[in-house]
């Protein structure tokens, strides 16, 4: 099968869906002629013209608010925030509007917005350009949250997100843009709410998202040499959450480690751990463990940056500890 980078896979998904439906509109800061600061929208302006692909002023709340206005009047907007961290500027529009407009007005509208948000630590971008704010929105009813870890998942999930009649927040880890993976030529879709078991194992379940899926897989390889078989589950969407797959794996292994790059406190792992303890406490042989980023802002220094991201060694050590119980 051919391989593509995640950047190319996302671009392909955007292009295919824009070709498929002429009501799709793509916009954001520098997404047009420039092709996006992460080069994810390159060529779309040339292909679809300035009516369907346009650069906006630096005005995040307007970008998201306008997307809502377009969506409830028949378009399928695909806005981009240059950095996911900027959700703070558009927080009211995302949290109080995108996710609630349909519901709070009685249910007669559709909100087919796909908001793309690059996230993650990636080369000294500093405390306001490196964060992973997805957990904030698990707390906001009405929003779907997709967070792919492979080119294959990214393409299939994004196509579904664009066709979905609800608001989907689509988080893309910046480090993954250059990751290569198999992507079939033929069309496929991945439903929202279907986790993927990235590696089967019988001893410990690691639930990981985005870049951490790969760190977990590397750790699992090393642990396998020690005779410990780790199962790696990637939820792929945090909302809706595929509880069935997650709890199924937990019941099989009886040991859980959750890994994400977000600060540990109040991160998505906190919610996963709570749900697991609510529903599978008697299947557990050890406490649920979490590895997240430290609860401090992310330093600009490339040297310090590495200390914020969960490492393979941290995962290995924690799995070893879990095996002691």
Partner 1 sequence: MAEIYQKEINLRDYSKENLMAFYRTMVKIRKFDENLIQLMHEGKVSGFYHSGIGSEGLSAGSIVHNLRDEDYLYYNHRGCNQKIAKGVPLSKLYGDFLGTVEGTTRGLGAGIVHSADVSRGVLGQAGTIGSQFNIAVGTAYSAKFQGTDRVTVCYFGDGAAAREPLHGSLNWAGIYELPIIYICENNEYAISCHTSEMHAVKEHIADWADGYGIPNCVVDGNDVLLMHEVAKEAIERARKGEGPTFIEAKTFRHRGHFEGDPYDYVDPEVVKEWKEKRDPIKNFKKRLLENNICSENDFSKIDEQVDHEIQKAIKTAESAPLPGRERIFEGLFA
Residues at the site binding partner 1, with contacts judged by CB under 8 A: 25, 51, 56-57, 59, 61-62, 64-75, 77, 92-93, 96-97, 101-112, 141-142, 165-166
**What's the CA gap between 129 and 113, in Å, rounded?**
23
CA distance 141 to 100: 7
CB nearer partner 1, residue 134 or residue 166: 166
Residue 11 and residue 19 in contact, taking contact as beta carbons nearer than 8 Å: no
Strands (E), 63-150: 76-80, 114-119, 144-146
Nearer to partner 1, 104 or 281 (CB): 104
Tokens of 178: 């250059």
Catalytic residue among 129, 144, 214, 260: 129
Cis bond leading into 84, ω under 30°? no
In contact, 55 and 82? CB cutoff 8 Å = no
Residue by residue, DSSP assigns 130-188 as S--TTHHHHTSTT-EEE---SHHHHHHHHHHHHHSSS-EEEEEEGGGGG-EEE--SS--
129 tagged catalytic: yes
Nearer to partner 1, 93 or 262 (CB): 93
Q: Are 210 and 176 in contact (CB under 8 A)?
A: yes
> Which residues on neighbouring strands pair with residue 238, listed in sequence order?
none
Non-local CB neighbours of 212 within 8 Å, separated by 6+ positions: 149, 259, 260, 261, 310
| 141, β-bridge pairs | none
Structure tokens at 147: 């967070």
Token digits for 295? 């609860």
Q: Which residues are catalytic?
A: 129
């Amino acid at each position: 099968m051919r391989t593509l980078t995640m950047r190319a896979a996302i671009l392909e998904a955007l292009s295919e869906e824009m070709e498929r439906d002429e009501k799709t509109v793509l916009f954001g800061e520098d997404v047009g002629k420039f092709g996006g600061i992460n080069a994810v929208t390159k060529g779309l302006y040339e292909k679809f013209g300035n009516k369907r692909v346009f650069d906006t002023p630096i005005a995040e709340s307007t970008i998201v608010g306008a997307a809502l206005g377009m969506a409830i009047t028949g378009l399928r907007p695909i806005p981009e925030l240059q950095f996911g961290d900027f959700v703070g500027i558009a927080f009211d529009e995302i949290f109080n509007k995108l996710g609630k407009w349909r519901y709070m007005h009685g249910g007669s509208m559709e909100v087919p917005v796909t908001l793309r948000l690059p996230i993650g630590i990636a080369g000294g971008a500093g405390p306001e350009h490196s964060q992973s704010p997805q957990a904030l929105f698990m707390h906001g009813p009405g929003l779907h949250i997709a967070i792919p870890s492979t080119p294959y998942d990214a393409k299939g999930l994004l196509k579904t997100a664009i066709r979905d009649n609800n608001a989907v927040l689509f988080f893309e880890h910046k480090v993954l843009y250059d990751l290569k993976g198999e992507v079939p030529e033929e069309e496929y879709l991945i439903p929202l709410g279907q986790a993927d078991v990235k590696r089967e194992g019988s001893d410990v379940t690691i639930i990981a998202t985005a870049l951490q899926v790969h760190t977990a897989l590397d750790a699992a390889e090393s642990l396998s040499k020690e005779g410990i078989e780790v199962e790696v589950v990637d939820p792929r969407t945090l909302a809706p959450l595929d509880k069935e797959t997650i709890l199924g794996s937990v019941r099989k292994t009886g040991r859980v480690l959750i890994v994400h790059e977000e600060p540990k406190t109040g991160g998505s792992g906190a919610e996963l751990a709570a749900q697991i303890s609510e529903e599978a406490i008697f299947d557990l042989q050890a406490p649920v463990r979490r590895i997240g980023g430290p609860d401090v802002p992310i330093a600009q220094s490339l040297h310090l940056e590495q200390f914020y991201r969960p490492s393979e060694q941290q995962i290995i050590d924690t799995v070893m500890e879990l095996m002691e119980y």
